[in-house]
Every structure is written in structure tokens, then in C-alpha cells.
Structure 1
């Protein structure tokens, strides 16, 4: 009962509109004062957890994403995807999903993916006969792939908090990410074939057109291959991969595309720094929160409760995923990871749940949070770039919510969908 009161109090505080980092810090500091009588250990607790080499990857990936956005490389990515799929039913929509998938492997951010691809794809989809509702929903959903397909900021964060292999998490996210992309593309084809007769289709691209499109997007598509390939080949670690990716993105944008100057690099660095600072401030509050919960022996009580009720692995996961789905309607992804992971981790270890498998389920649920009202960040992103009514954007995303729930259930029922690749590649 104590944990529910604590979580309820924290959520209510965050509902007041207090910034997440401030709410976590004040609430956790208050709990520490009540339970330990002073705040003397707070700086040591925060420093010990943040003094982690793997966290360097977060600002580096953020910088890489900003450079790729500044360089407008997404235009060539979308053009190539459209050239390859324009003859299919729903070809423009499929091209949008394909572009989201590739850009997700570059940016690691759902909001960046939805914003960047949306600015290019939404006008194109509407021009080819898609209803605005369909275009908004598809881009909002496609953007969520940014945090599942590696590299992924939330996966890095979860890996640090759960002490799980980040390389293993990246590998585990690949097949589920492709599976969701295929589900989205399949739905787009079905919806176009049976519900949007006005959608235009073009003739199949010639080999010359395909060759030209692939040539234009060669460097953009090579970037995620080089970064992930080098990491899994053992050339560099997951943290070093972020540095390599940032450097390669800068070289491609500045030398190959020649549309990024010193001012753009400075602005990208500032943007990455702001994103990272916000994340680390939230982490600091969540670290104290997890420390207080441990001192209050709440994780141990949850382990005892879970084992005594005998829900079983799937029953426990169903309950946790349901809770996270509800939290996702009101809180952003970082807060959910940092609030829930320290609580469920001891129970997972006691029940023998693979933390990499759980991490993939968690991230898919966080993807759902991006397109579920009232606080779906991708919904707000589409609102920002189109100024469309929020009701229209939300209704367009509803089919994709069901598709993502279906994907979540499938991966929960068949863990090998997520675990096969990391076992083959890394033996984890």
C-alpha cells in the first residue's frame, strides 16, 4: 500500500504542472528528509549514479541527431523511399514509414523523427489524396520508431538504470522495430486499398531513377550501418559508437552535403546540450527517488508480494505493462523509466525475467505513450508543424495504437522475437 501512496503522490505533484525534474527532486528530497532525517547523502547518491561512462552516449547521440536535422539529409531519405515504393497501394504512406525507420536509426529520437519526416511527408501525402487525419496519424506513429530502432536514448537510459547490456538492447530492438514498421506499412496498404480510393499511385520507378535515388541517399543510409556495424563487430563500444556517429554525421553534413556551417554546428551543440541537461536533471531526481525507495525496503516488499500472489511471469508483465500504459498517458518516457525501473527491477530478478526482453517491452509501451492523449509528445509535434485540430490528429493515430498493442502482446508471448538477435550477435 505504501508504494501506491508514494507513486500516487508523485503523479499528483507532476500533474500540477511542476517541471518533471523539480517535482522528482522536491518529492524525493522530502521523502529522504522524512525517512532519514537529513539530506546529507543526497549529493553523494546523485554523483555515484551519474558518474557513469555509458551516459556519455546520450549527449553525443543528441548532437548527432541535431546535426542530421540541420543538414536536411532527410529529404534524400524520403525521396529514395518514395522512389522505391510509389507504385504500391499506399506507396507514399509506405515511403513515409520507410523514411521514419531509417531516420530512427540515425536520430534515436521519436520527436525528432516525427518532426523531421512530418515536415516533408505530410504535405506530400495530402497532395496524393490521403486525408489529413490519415497523414497525421501515420507520421505520429512512424515517428515512435525513433526510440525502438537503435540507437535509442531511452534504451541507453534503461540500460544504465537496470545495468543491462546497451549493445544487447540495441540488437533486441531491431527485429521488433522492423516488425512494427511492417505492421504500419501493411495497414497503410489495406487502408488505401479499401478506404481511400482517391489516393493516387504512380508508375513503377525505372532502374535509372532507383539508381539515382540510392546514390543521393548513399551517405545518409551508410551512417547507421557504419555506427551499428562497427559496434557489433567489436571495433568500438556502444558509448564510443555515439562519438563515431556524431563525427560521421558532422563530416557528411559539412563535407558531402555542404549545408552545415560553424553556426549550425554551434546551434546543434547547444540543442544537444539542452536536451542532455534536461535529461540529467530528471535523472538526478529519479536517482534520489530510487535510493529512498530502497532505504524504505519497498522493492523487497514488492518482491515478496509478487512471489506470494504467484502471478507468474506473464501475469506480472501484463500488470506492469498496463500500469506503464496508464502512466504513459500523463508522463513522458524518461520519467516513466526512472520512476518504474528501480521498483520493478528486484521483482524481475526474483522471477528470472530477462532485463533485455523487459527493456524492449518497456520501450514499445513508451512508444504507445508518444501517441496516446492527453500527453502524447508526437501528437503535440504534429500539432506544432501542421496546426491541425488535436482531435483530428488523435483519431488518425488510433489504428496504430491497436497495432502497437498487438506487437507488444506478440513480443510478450514470443520472447525470441526480441532475444534471438542479441543471442546470436552478442551471446546475451
Structure 2
């Protein structure tokens, strides 16, 4: 009965617009305070145990590396390279938007950071070129979903940590689905730009020497994900150490190679990193405490038994999970759901014979869709706020992108090899 009251309190707090992490903490506090089996320190202990983990250092390092990249001049060089490659094509700037997400996603690991950066840099340029502001904002929000799927996505690290799944395998498994999403978006924006008459004046076709110069300038940034994946697969370092190497890599580029980073920039980057890291860690701490309560009350076991008795086929199970996550993701932040639901889903995977790496990519993609859906989609609000696009306009423009994302998710459900091929080959 207590767990029902806890869940009800959490839902009420969320409805009252209390941040989800604090709503979870409030519900968890009530559970521990009303149960005589626990001391007053139990909640604090559970929270600390949730963040006191070596693998989570990877999140700290990759967030810091991603923020540092914005101060090194890498972002500017990657943008120049993306414009050289696709800027002269139909819907050139829209394709630059997608390509930039692919290239920057492998550096930042954070879809919020990616969406915010492109909203500031690229959306104003798109609007000047004749794109509808709502379309530019919706595309930016959707393309940022590529980021958590590609290595070193923060969501991949979280899922691997909570579900005890190889983070190295998850990094590799996300490559094909991430590139597929980029391909889907490139095709769609090509026809959308053609039909709606966006970007009537195209950039001139670049000379080979210009492309070569731009690619040389962006090569150091493009090489980072390759270094990370290669190092992990060759056993030179693990995912956590890879994050530390990414930070050192960013500092070397900023101070010694491009020489565009000052010590003032370094302090600003570290300050910005700490703010993002603190937000993520509070979510992890709160989610861990609540997840421990669910485990204590044997909720995962009860749900596993109930679901497996009613659903026999694994594909039907995944389709139901897709619908469930699409709805729940509208109201609760993705990282919170990742921490809470992963321990609940993991026991079910063995029953249905679903590979946890394949499920992880599917799971993260489903949660990412929720970030661009009302009423509390984090990417939706971030993008709309920066671009000053009204939410109702954003929703109207984002509908075709929802369809694309759902189609891609269904493809991944029915063809597990898309996420399992590379881990199998490289294992």
C-alpha cells in the first residue's frame, strides 16, 4: 500500500510542475520516513550509492569534453566542413543541420547540448535562407536525437551502467541506427525543401581544394569517435578512460593545435560542465533511490511475471513497450525513465530471448522521441526557447519527424541485425 502512495505523490508533484528528479526524491523520502525498518540516513545512502560508481565517470568526462569542444574552434570547423559537403545541394542548410548532428554527436554525447548549439548557430542562418522557423527548429530538435545513439552517447553509458551491459558493445551497436536516422532525415529534408521552396539561392559548388582544406581542418574532430571506438575494441582503454582521453584530446586541440582556447574559456567551460553534470547526477541519484524502492517491493518481478503470462511473442512485447515509452516519455524526462525502467525491463529480456544490446538501442531511441513531444519534451522546449518558435508551431512541424522516428524504431525492432551486426563482427 505504501508504494502506491509513493507513486501517487510522485505523480501529483509532477503535475504540480515539480522537476521530476525532486518529485522522485519527495516520494522516496516519504517511503523511508514512514517505514520503521530504515533510518533517516537511508535515503542519502541510497542516493550516494547511485552516483558513487567508476563507470559514471565516463559521463562526467564526456560531458566536459563536449563542452570544451565548443570553446576550441572545432564546432566552427565542423560547420564549415558540413557546408562544403552539402551546402550546395537542394535543402543544403537542412542537410548541414543533419550532418552537423552526426559529427558533433560523436563529440558531445549530449542531445540537449547539440540542440542548443545548433539552435543558436544554424537556425538563424536557415531562416535567412527562407526556411520556415518552425521547420528549422523541428529539424534541429529531431537531428539532435542522433546524438544519444552514436558513441559516446550519455544515454548509452547510463543504460550500460544500470543494466550491466557492455558499454563498448553499446557504443558500436549505435553506429548503424544513428547513421540510418541521419539518412532518413537527409531524404526527408531534400523533398521537403523542394516541395516548400526552401533555400532558393544555393551555395556555389565548392572546389576540390576547398573541400580538401575544410576536411583537413575538421579531421581532428572527426577522428575522436574513431579513436574512442578503436581504443575500446583493441583493449587499450575502457569507456570511462576513453572519456578522460576525450578531455585531454579537447585540451590539446584547444591550447596547442588550434590555439583558440584561453584560460578564461577553460574556466567558463568547466563551470558550464559542472552545471550539466550536477543536473544529470541529481537525476541519477533520485532515480537510483526510487529504483531501489521498486526492487525492494519486488515490483520488477511482479511486472515480469504479469507481462510474460499475457504476452508470448517478443515482437509483440517490443511493440507494446514502444507504445508505453512513447506515452510515458511525454511526461517524464528520458534519463529518469532510463534509470527507473532499465532494472524493470532487464529480467523480461531473458524470458523473451531479446539481446540487451539490441534492446538498449531500441529503448534509447524510444525515449529520445519523448524529448520532442509535449507536454514536457526537454529538447522541444530547449529548441523552441532559443529559436523563439511557438510550441504549437513546433508541434505542427515536428509531426512528419515523429513518423520518421517511429518507422525507424519499427525497422530496428524487426531487424535486430542492424544494431547487433557491428558488435558481432568486432567482438
The corresponding residue for 1:300 is 301
Stretches of structure 2 lacking an aligned partner (at least 5 in a row): none
**2:50–2:289 CA contact under 8 A, matched in 1:** no
The corresponding residue for 2:424 is 423
Stretches of structure 1 lacking an aligned partner (at least 5 in a row): none
Q: How does 1:194-213 map to 2 (within 5 A)?
A: 194-196=195-197, 199-213=200-214
1:169 aligned to 2:177? no
For the aligned residue pairs, the C-alpha RMSD in angstroms reads 2.1
**1:223–1:249 CA contact under 8 A, matched in 2:** no
Deviates more, 1:252-261 or 1:163-172: 252-261
Q: How does 1:158-237 map to 2 (within 5 A)?
A: 158-196=159-197, 199-237=200-238
Counterpart-to-counterpart distance in 2, 1:269 and 1:203: 39
CA-CA distance at 1:42 after TM superposition: 3.7
CA-CA distance at 1:59 after TM superposition: 0.9
Counterpart-to-counterpart distance in 2, 1:42 and 1:298: 19
Q: How many residues align?
A: 426
The alignment partner of 2:55 has SS state of helix
CA-CA distance at 1:49 after TM superposition: 4.1
**2:32–2:42 CA contact under 8 A, matched in 1:** no
Deviates more, 1:297-306 or 1:106-115: 297-306
For residues 90-110 of structure 1, the C-alpha deviation after alignment (integer angstroms, 9 at most, x for no partner) is 122111110111000000011
Counterpart-to-counterpart distance in 2, 1:262 and 1:87: 38
Q: How does 1:190-339 map to 2 (within 5 A)?
A: 190-196=191-197, 199-339=200-340
The corresponding residue for 2:112 is 111
**TM-score by structure 2 length?**
0.93
Q: How does 1:397-408 map to 2 (within 5 A)?
A: 397-408=398-409
CA-CA distance at 1:173 after TM superposition: 0.8
Counterpart-to-counterpart distance in 1, 2:302 and 2:388: 48
Counterpart-to-counterpart distance in 1, 2:20 and 2:185: 32
Query: Residues 385 and 72 from structure 1, CA distance in 2 versus in 1: closer, same or farther, beyond 3 angstroms?
Result: farther
Deviates more, 1:396-405 or 1:22-31: 22-31
For residues 79-129 of structure 1, the C-alpha deviation after alignment (integer angstroms, 9 at most, x for no partner) is 111111133221221111101110000000111111212322212222322
1:66 aligned to 2:40? no
Counterpart-to-counterpart distance in 1, 2:197 and 2:8: 44
Query: Residues 324 and 2 from structure 1, CA distance in 2 versus in 1: closer, same or farther, beyond 3 angstroms?
Result: farther
The alignment partner of 1:395 has SS state of helix
CA-CA distance at 1:2 after TM superposition: 9.4
Q: How does 1:317-396 map to 2 (within 5 A)?
A: 317-396=318-397
CA-CA distance at 1:412 after TM superposition: 0.6
For residues 286-332 of structure 1, the C-alpha deviation after alignment (integer angstroms, 9 at most, x for no partner) is 22212221221221111211221134212222222222211211221
Counterpart-to-counterpart distance in 2, 1:403 and 1:241: 32
